[in-house]
Structure 1
Amino acid sequence: MKRWSARRVRALIRHTGPTSLIFRRRLALIGGAVIVGLVALAFAWAADLASEAFEELAAHSRYAPLLITPIGFALIVWITRRYAPLAAGSGIPQIIAATKDPANAHHKLVHLRTAALKCVLTVTGLLVGASVGREGPTVQISAAILAASHRLLRVPLRASVMIAGGAAGVAAAFNTPLAGVTFAIEELAAAYEQRMTLLVITAVIISGMVTLGLSGNYVYFGFVNAHLTTSSAIKIALIAGFLGGLSGGLFARLLLAVTYSRNRLTDFRRDRPILFALYCGVVVAIIGVLTGMTWGTSYAAASSIITGLDAPLWFGPAKFVSTIVTSISGLPGGIFAPSLATGAGFGNILHWLFPDEQASAVVLLGMVAYFTGVVRAPLTAVIIIAETSGSRGFMLPLLGAALIADGSAQLVCRERLYHGLARGFMGAK
């Protein structure tokens, strides 16, 4: 009996002890998720600092961006193409592509050096006024961290690890844990399996606990008490969903067209990428100098619109152009936050059509519709808007607008943006 018990103990140690695969897999996930939370906080702090520094510069010297922004664009694209070509763009398409070949992704699409340089270049982009966000880069660096922790502990790398890292990145970037889970389901995962479910939820919870513990239970845009009557909610959600989906779908269509089509513009972009980036910087700088509101993520402008303050009707179209030009320039950086700001601008135009309704509620419907049109992930869009504005009681009208926007966006762009962009990273070397 004792010999049998001893064998059972030894077998149990081999199966779940410190040297076992199960133990190493759990340690890689938990340790990696903790690091993800810390890195996401540090990245957010650096990005906010860079945005504030540029806005102060633009306020003190209005025309300085006309020189700084174009040169900055050209320099960032040169560094990206020379040292980390796989760091270009959002970061989310890279993770989608990485899930197709996880065994080789750790030294290509989710290499720590590539992801770290992407974060540095995104902060630099904000420092020169680029209309980029930190969410896509956070997704890529988060997946890279989890991949590195698994490689360090000699744990086989699966697609579910990439998906869990990406979900944790979204959750940590906005302090939106539910959005991280739904984003993993809608965007990153082709099939939703039980193993992936456990990895995603564990990674999101742990990274979320780290960010909440260090930064507090903040709401990205602050609490918004959005409310409409049933008849108004139905009417506005229908119009917002249809028009917002068309607008967001147009953004996706333009970005995919510039990425893959062949014409004089795209040929020039491929043949002279540094000069093309310089010209893009000139356009972004001119828009920023003329408006004073389109730099970086435009968080302040979006936040003021959401809270009901008056804003010019041209902000939404100006931010749309600034973001699309930044996106096609080849700079590393996300489009989540700039798209939310553009959506707020669209919602502001929508409120002009419904001046007697509560401004905050109309703006949120416009935001969720436009954002859904861009990313074609309605559940993620609804939960991100609800969690970043604290308007969880307004989720039903938001869902209605998002579902309509998802349908209308397909009239303009059949292919989902991130999955379309991911094609360019398939088989990356």
Structure 2
Amino acid sequence: MKKHQESHTGSLLASWFNFKFRLLAGGVTVGLLSGAAVVLYRYSLETALSAAHSVYSFERTHVWLIPLWFIVLILGGWVTGLLVKKHPMIAGSGIPQVKGVLKGKLEMNWWRVFLAKFAGGTLSIGAGLSLGREGPSIQIGASIAQGFSKVLGKMKTEENFLITCGASAGLAAAFNAPIAGVIFALEELHSSFSPFIMMSALAASLAADFVSKEFFGLGPIFHFTGLGAVPLSQYAHLLGLGAVVGCMGIGFNGALYKFQNLYRRLPVRQEFKPVLPFLLAGLLGLVMPRVLGGGNDLVNELMSGHFTITALFILLAVKFFFTLLSFGSSAPGGIFLPMLVLGSISGGLYTQIVNGLAGYPALETGRFLILAMAGYLTASVKAPITGIILITEMTGSFTSLLSTGIVCLTAYTVAEIFRSRPVYEVLLERITSRGAAAEPEAPAGKSVMEIPVHPGSSLDGLRIKEFSWPPHCLIVSIRRGELELIPGGEARLQGGDYLVILTDHRYASDIRDRLTDAASDCSAV
């Protein structure tokens, strides 16, 4: 047994230093497979939601159909609840679950998650719930990647890299945004820069984006035309807009957690909880169909600037409440796209109020609408680079990069001042704390991980022998730029180094958490 473990360890280390090109090929393959799966999912959502809108239009002239449709919605909500009850990993967005899998805190059965998430997401978003396709697309992509790894018998370390590739491909295919898919993997899923992740995720995202554009066309998600850069004379308003959407993003996070708590206290079994937002979707489909689904068509409508302040306030309130009610029920669906819509409505309100106070159209609605989307997302997720790149790719406009960056930086600063935590980080803690998906029983074998040393952290400037390292971990090498250093007790760590750590699977999650904290804690600075 010991000889077998030594052989496995040697094989693992040898592959770690020589698998860049294999990982690149795996990323392309995963991108094509995940892209195809997400394209099918996206097509199913659009077909189902279009059919629902047709039903609502028909109901306005054929009232007798309304009771029958509400019965269908009740059944749809019940089936969705049953799926969530049987497969807790498909509840909600799916992004926290993917993060949990990568951190070793959650376990995912790839084919069950794929089928249940596909079916549950199609039912929920297709019925009109205010949920986005990006979260399910990311989890579907990750599940396809995990299945690919399992079928080919990949080692756990390589499997995690490929799961990251699948998640990146899912976002790229969902929004036609390949670069945002890569940045999302680096900034949100891993919270660090790694050449391995960047290279493989980029390959997967580009492959998935190719598949998506082959099916849906080359155009961006939002159809904005004729928008120029924000004049320098209006840059003071960027700070004001960033502060406003920053506060609103923080408020959205807090309200989201409260609605989750409210649903948990309801004396109703899990399979019946999604019925409430399904019924509300039926009502809103008759009186305010604009708020159904993710809402990207609503963003295109807002570009016209023909909405009054009163209409925008009503839209904001209804969309906000409907999103919280939909997501809080644990129905499969994301919050990325609804947050972008809420941000766009907020941007429209900001321009309407400023223009009303000025007495003339001082600000152009379209420009500030785009900026508000990026700022709102940044304040909630606390991933500013992802917000900037995602909005740029979704709009196809590169003229507002500077102004978008200012709004996102302001919104991020507001979130930091109020010590608001990233929404997906909190959601992951809630999943693991309530035992919705217990921590997996670690498989036998070894795992290799990369830990980036941040400048100013506890490890920066320390000799290896001066730090109390967790048991059951071995520092295999130190990557410093293009150099690969063999570690010794006298070796001094520097900010920007990458520690390559070898450990057993059973200790990997705890060691990753402890070393990541030590390598990123800059409180002493």
TM-score scaled to structure 2, two decimals? Answer: 0.71
Q: Write the mapping of 1:281-300 to structure 2, written as runs, cut at 5 A.
A: 281-300=278-297
Counterpart of 2:346 in structure 1: which amino acid? F
State whether residues 351 and 365 of structure 2, in contact with CA within 8 Å, keep that contact through their aligned partners in structure 1: yes
RMSD value over aligned CA atoms? Answer: 2.5
Partner-residue secondary structure (3-state), 1:354: helix
State whether residues 226 and 360 of structure 1, in contact with CA within 8 Å, keep that contact through their aligned partners in structure 2: no
Q: Please, which runs of 5 or more residues in structure 1 have no aligned partner?
A: 1-14
State whether residues 344 and 364 of structure 1, in contact with CA within 8 Å, keep that contact through their aligned partners in structure 2: yes
State whether residues 280 and 329 of structure 1, in contact with CA within 8 Å, keep that contact through their aligned partners in structure 2: yes
Separation in 1 of the partners of 2:351 and 2:70? 33
Given candidates 43, 68, 73, the residue that maps to 1:45 is 43
Separation in 2 of the partners of 1:279 and 1:44? 24
Distance 1:21 1:270, change over 3 A: farther
Q: Select the structure that is richer in helix.
A: 1
Separation in 1 of the partners of 2:282 and 2:240? 33
Instruction: Deviation per CA, 1:57-98: give whole Å up to 9, x if none.
Output: 11221473655445433331122212x111111011111101
* Structure having greater relative contact order (Cα 8 Å, sep ≥ 6): 1
| Alignment match, 1:3 | none
State whether residues 25 and 150 of structure 1, in contact with CA within 8 Å, keep that contact through their aligned partners in structure 2: no
Distance 1:42 1:282, change over 3 A: closer
Counterpart of 1:344 in structure 2: which amino acid? S
| Alignment match, 1:6 | none
The alpha-carbon deviation at position 413 of structure 1 amounts to 6.2
| Alignment match, 1:95 | 98
| Alignment match, 2:398 | 392
Separation in 2 of the partners of 1:267 and 1:169? 30
More displaced, 55-64 or 327-336?
A: 55-64
| Alignment match, 1:302 | 299
Q: Write the mapping of 1:254-293 to structure 2, written as runs, cut at 5 A.
A: 254-259=255-260, 265-269=262-266, 272-293=269-290
| Alignment match, 1:171 | 172
Counterpart of 1:30 in structure 2: which amino acid? V
Q: Select the structure that is richer in strand.
A: 2
- Percent identity reads 24
| Alignment match, 2:415 | 409
| Alignment match, 1:9 | none
Partner-residue secondary structure (3-state), 1:212: helix
The alpha-carbon deviation at position 288 of structure 1 amounts to 4.5
Separation in 2 of the partners of 1:220 and 1:309? 21
Distance 1:118 1:413, change over 3 A: farther
More displaced, 269-278 or 205-214?
A: 269-278
Partner-residue secondary structure (3-state), 2:218: coil
| Alignment match, 1:325 | 325
Separation in 2 of the partners of 1:156 and 1:168? 21
Counterpart of 1:139 in structure 2: which amino acid? I
| Alignment match, 2:218 | 217
Counterpart of 1:415 in structure 2: which amino acid? R
| Alignment match, 2:369 | 363
Separation in 1 of the partners of 2:336 and 2:208? 20
Counterpart of 1:44 in structure 2: which amino acid? R
Distance 1:67 1:322, change over 3 A: farther
Whether 2:61 is the aligned partner of 1:59: answer: no
Separation in 1 of the partners of 2:298 and 2:265? 34
Whether 2:227 is the aligned partner of 1:228: answer: no
The alpha-carbon deviation at position 267 of structure 1 amounts to 4.2
Mark the structure with the bigger radius of gyration: 2
Counterpart of 2:38 in structure 1: which amino acid? A
Aligned residues: 402
More displaced, 373-382 or 132-141?
A: 373-382
Separation in 1 of the partners of 2:303 and 2:96? 29
Q: Write the mapping of 1:15-54 to structure 2, written as runs, cut at 5 A.
A: 27-54=25-52
Whether 2:136 is the aligned partner of 1:130: answer: no
Instruction: Deviation per CA, 1:5-53: give whole Å up to 9, x if none.
Output: xxxxxxxxxx99xxx9788655543322211121121111111111111
Distance 1:379 1:26, change over 3 A: closer
Separation in 1 of the partners of 2:24 and 2:403? 40
| Alignment match, 1:78 | 82
The alpha-carbon deviation at position 411 of structure 1 amounts to 5.2
Separation in 1 of the partners of 2:383 and 2:145? 24
Partner-residue secondary structure (3-state), 1:393: coil
TM-score scaled to structure 1, two decimals? Answer: 0.86
Separation in 2 of the partners of 1:413 and 1:99? 25
Q: Please, which runs of 5 or more residues in structure 2 have no aligned partner?
A: 1-13, 356-360, 433-437, 441-525
Partner-residue secondary structure (3-state), 2:254: helix
Whether 2:349 is the aligned partner of 1:349: answer: yes
